[in-house]
Amino acid sequence: MLEHAEAIAERRGLRPDTLDATLLASTQPVVLRGLVADWPMARAGAASAREAVDYVRRFARAEPVVATVAAPESQGRFFYAEGQQGFNFRSERVPLPVVLDTLLRYLDEAAPPAIYVGSTTIDTWLPGFRAENDLDLGPNTPLASIWIGNRTRIAAHQDVPDNIACVVAGRRRVTLFPPEQLANLYIGPLDRTPAGQAVSLVDFAHPDLQAHPRFAEAARHAQVAVLEPGDAVLIPSLWWHHMEGLEPFNVLVNYWWRRTPAYMDSPMNALMLALLSIRDLPAHEREHWREVFRHYVFDADAQTVAHIAEGARGALAPMDEARARELRARLLQRLNR
């Protein structure tokens, strides 16, 4: 079904220090072929898994990282257990050099356990790595993380920050869907998730259209690319993305950043509060609140508060750090009742 997905748009010829503001603000995904091909890490990854491991080992601290492990029967898919009350994997704290040695030991195994070290902060766990392998994202202050594993499948999910994901060893298939495909992806629980983000319940390797008939419509909007060492993909905020490692050893480096000030809260918190306070209201009241949100949030402009004296606008005034702190304190006081 997804084998006929549209290819993600591509650009070539960019270098780590030539990412302009227009590209970084894109609302559409784009594959950046060869963007980090000159990184020492990408050159090692293109050479062999063993050279990639040796390169990572140069920087790895001895302190444990979180390694996620699933049985061979999972076929690399980290997911829920039956009934969605638990998961089909376990998490262990293991020194990164031990994880690397384990992955090498399973290189030639036909059906190894799925092993994944995900979202590990590079500056903390691989000090010095970014001095040789880094992107220039201009005024943005990104969180740089590394992801290491074998043939694993990470269910489609979305992240609030913008994201550039760089393959530096192995190959990855990236499958993307625009945010408006939410209803067609059959998203699971919001508060019990495999790794922090709600995920699609559809098995992309074996879609069950009887259980998930709307996925056929989502597939019509899918975009896909296979990334080689040195390639990257820009994933805009809230685009759904499914990540699949295609080799016995895969490494990805990613950068998350937001285009909003640090004092702004996550919109997910607003969603959770709306579930608490609005979703179960009578239908006519929900419609009233839809208009309130349209007026004060989604269609807000200068005219929304033009009739209020400037010094009296309070939470309706343009948000800044001090006002955000005051509003957060007021919310905490109201919630702690």
What are the pLDDT digits (tens) for 110-160?
Answer: 999 999 999 999 999 999 999 999 999 999 999 999 999 999 999 999 999
Residues in the chain: 337
Which positions of the chain have pLDDT values less than 50? none
Q: What is the pTM of this model?
A: 0.94
| Residue 182 DSSP code | G
Residue ranges and CATH numbers for the domains of the chain are: 2-257 (2.60.120.650), 267-335 (no CATH)
- Euclidean distance between CA atoms 165 and 147, whole angstroms: 10
pLDDT digits (tens, 9 = 90+) for 240-271: 999 999 999 999 999 999 999 988 989 999 99
Residue 1: the pLDDT is: 73
Residue 304: is it exposed, middle or buried by C-beta count within 10 angstroms (0-12/13-18/19+)?
middle
CB 227, CB 171: distance < 8 Å: yes
